[in-house]
Chains A and B, each alone.
Chain A
Amino acid sequence: MKFLLTAAAALGLMAGAASAQSRLETVQERGKLLCSGHNGSYLGFAEVDDQGNWEGLDIDLCRGLAASLFGKAEGHLDIVPISWAQRWPALQSGDIDVIIKLSGWSQSRDTELNLAFSNPYFVAGFHVMTNADLGVESVAGLDGGSICVSAGTTTERFLAAYVEKLGIDVEIIVFESGDEVRTAYFNGRCDGLTLLAPPLAAARATSENPEAHVILPDVIALEPEGIIVPEGDPKWLDVMNWMLSSLWFAELNGITSENVDEIKANPPSAQIGKFLGVTPGYGSRLGLSDDWAYNLITEVGNYAEIYDRNIGVPYALPRAKNNLYTNGGLFYPLMVD
């Protein structure tokens, strides 16, 4: 028996040895980033086009991260399709390196689930959309009806709490994937559809008859969406925060994927020179190459470009709070020094 225990402990130790490393080094050694995808489309954030390619804001952030780490995303990025409910186990087990899947910062996730959140990269409220011909003006009017929601999300909890607060009787129906939720609503399975505002508006805008649906004014909850990494890995979390910051820094300084080469050849200020890796420092402190921000902008552009490409242009949604502070939004870059 003692022998068995020793043998087992030896096998187990071989496992333990690897986990002391930061995920950053693990990813760099592997030469490939495993980023979370969706198990179906979530309009504007992850969609599958006619040719079977992933696109969307979340996907662009994955591409940007891969480019920051490896110079370019192509050949260095695997989008792993997972359902909402499998996010945490997949991250903890190492099936994916990072969750960029429109996940809100909540206390239970931060503490009990032992996850670490980056600064929010998207902020929006949850709203409910209903059929216009129901004549409902607020969520309270849906008493006795039903609302569809995605399984295993904060939405499920927020909605349950909100309905409880209103004291109405609403049947909440949960679905595994984003496609199923939307289909269920448009087929009339539910009176209401709860989603984050942008995908909700996108669903309305692209429906057969947008006028037939109204988005109710109630804000069920405002949610800040962050990039998620395992707790206790500050180096890896730093990369996330500085990648997001770089996207906003580039936007603030007018650096786009179009003009980034020009600016790099002839930087207008020492700070921007450092940002683009003309002078060293911006990357090496993070354990990345010094021109990583240049690679990032070349790959996906700045935040405005990402937003417009995935949400602004296709669904004609204004940026609202998801703008730089200079335009009345919530976002700001960190100091580049």
Chain B
Amino acid sequence: MDATLPRQTRLRALRTDYFSTRLDTLVTLGFGLLAAWVLWSLFDWGVLHAVWSAENREACGHGAEGACWAVIDARWRLILFGLYPFEEQWRSALACAVIVLTGGASCAPWFWTARRLAALWVAGFVTFYVLMRGGVFGLTEVSEQNWGGLSLTIFIFASVTLLGMPLAIVFALLRRSQLPWIARTMGVIIDAIRSLPLLSIMFTFAIVLPFVLPGWMIGDKLHRVIAGYALFFACYQAEIIRGGIQSLPGGQEEAAQALGLGYWHRIGHIILPQAFRNALPATINQLVITFKETSLVVIIGFFEILASGNAAYGNSEWNFAHVEVYAFVGLIYFVFVFALSRYGAYLERRMAVAER
């Protein structure tokens, strides 16, 4: 008997996926060739003709055909740790590891209650800060002016998130307030801040704030920039949370009201947990953007990883090697951001399954 359905072999799948029509074949071949050429050029430049060790520095330079990874070999500690004291850099590395572990741990479902998650992150952050700052447990003190590289990037990211998240909840609730004036004013503030560039907010907080604040409130420049960034983050995140709240069926809140639950009880136990769940993909996306945009502090003059990368090729010995340095710094960013966004995608899938 003739089979009415063709058997799904791997070859056939390949054919339907790549060569189903003449146009398809053309597209596949064209893009395939392009991809092969790009990959080969990268491989040729980055591996075959590359110079790997700082001892062979003379082989690099403007005329060289391959990548000069020697610059990473010579300056990787500067890129990763910036201006942090050389002998103490193990602390900076350890501190980064602590935050990465905290991030990893918060992916475990056991931690998925507001209290546990908050406790975990506060603990992780405090450990990070003590390790970096020192001054206790026999660690020498390292002031924040000397922080740099990856740990500064992580510090800014973590503190912005930790400060901004509670602030975002407050903003979202204020904007949803029943009282028209509070809701309207908050709306104006949120929309105004959202339409300003982050860079101009950081710049304002770094440079202008000291003029308008009383002396005892000024604080360190780094802290001010983080405060500004946290405010910006909070305004974006507040809208995400508000979106999450709005997507809840109205009956939820009415039911809670009918049961006689007070405002805080309703918000804390019924509305927010669900809103957060709905807003999770958008939140992760916002975190990804926040991590990437920490790089803007370069322009304010901090030595986070991009700036220390600039400094790494900034001396006369290595000034031709910027592409290699940017590739290295880019790889570090990519690892963090990609991991975060994959995790977001995983959560989205998981939630989609749960909703079925």
CA of A53 to CA of B83, assembled, Å: 6
Residues of A within 8 A of B313 (CB): 179, 183
From the candidates A12, A15, A41, A79, name the one contacting B145 in the complex (CB within 8 A). A79
Q: A39-B307, A179-B310 are in contact. Are A15 and B221 (CB under 8 A)?
A: no
Residues of B within 8 A of A43 (CB): 316
Residues of B within 8 A of A52 (CB): 77-78, 81-86, 148, 308
In angstroms, how far is the closest chain B Cβ from the Cβ of A199?
Answer: 11
Encoded as 1 (CB less than 8 Å from any A CB) or 0, chain B from 51 to 84 comes to 0000000000110000000000011011001111
Q: How many A-B residue pairs lie within 8 Å, measured between CB atoms?
A: 120
A206 and B207 form a contact (CB under 8 A): no
CA of A179 to CA of B303, assembled, Å: 14
Residues of B within 8 A of A47 (CB): 315
Interface flag for B251 (CB, 8 Å): no
Interface flag for B210 (CB, 8 Å): yes
A41 and B319 form a contact (CB under 8 A): no
Q: Which of A91-99, A215-223, A224-232, A257-265 lies at the binding interface?
A: A91-99
* Nearest residue, chain B, Cβ from A26: B215
In angstroms, how far is the closest chain B Cβ from the Cβ of A194?
Answer: 17
> What band does the interface of chain A fall in when counting residues whose beta carbon is under 8 Å from B?
35 or more
Interface flag for B19 (CB, 8 Å): no
In angstroms, how far is the closest chain B Cβ from the Cβ of A164?
Answer: 30
Encoded as 1 (CB less than 8 Å from any A CB) or 0, chain B from 181 to 219 comes to 000000000000000000000000011111101111010
Encoded as 1 (CB less than 8 Å from any B CB) or 0, chain A from 287 to 314 comes to 0000000000000000000000000000
Interface flag for A207 (CB, 8 Å): yes
B319 and A80 form a contact (CB under 8 A): no
CA of A203 to CA of B206, assembled, Å: 31
- Count, chain B residues at interface, CB 8 A: 47
B214 and A14 form a contact (CB under 8 A): yes
CA of A50 to CA of B86, assembled, Å: 9
B315 and A41 form a contact (CB under 8 A): yes
Interface flag for B317 (CB, 8 Å): yes
A50 and B74 form a contact (CB under 8 A): yes
B215 and A176 form a contact (CB under 8 A): no
> Which residues of chain B from 117 to 158 have any CB-CB distance to chain A below 8 Å in the complex?
141, 143, 145-146, 148
CA of A2 to CA of B260, assembled, Å: 42
From the candidates A51, A79, A90, name the one contacting B207 in the complex (CB within 8 A). A90
Interface flag for B18 (CB, 8 Å): no
From the candidates B77, B141, B221, B298, name the one contacting A50 in the complex (CB within 8 A). B77
B311 and A95 form a contact (CB under 8 A): no
In angstroms, how far is the closest chain B Cβ from the Cβ of A29?
Answer: 13
Q: A48-B311, A90-B207 are in contact. Are A54 and B83 (CB under 8 A)?
A: yes
A93 and B316 form a contact (CB under 8 A): no
Interface flag for B299 (CB, 8 Å): yes
Residues of B within 8 A of A78 (CB): 143, 145-146
Residues of A within 8 A of B77 (CB): 50-52
In angstroms, how far is the closest chain B Cβ from the Cβ of A120?
Answer: 25
* Nearest residue, chain B, Cβ from A75: B141
CA of A255 to CA of B221, assembled, Å: 39
CA of A181 to CA of B179, assembled, Å: 55
Residues of A within 8 A of B232 (CB): none
Residues of A within 8 A of B319 (CB): 179, 182-183, 186, 207
Nearest 4 interchain pairs by C-beta: A93-B210, A206-B316, A179-B314, A15-B214
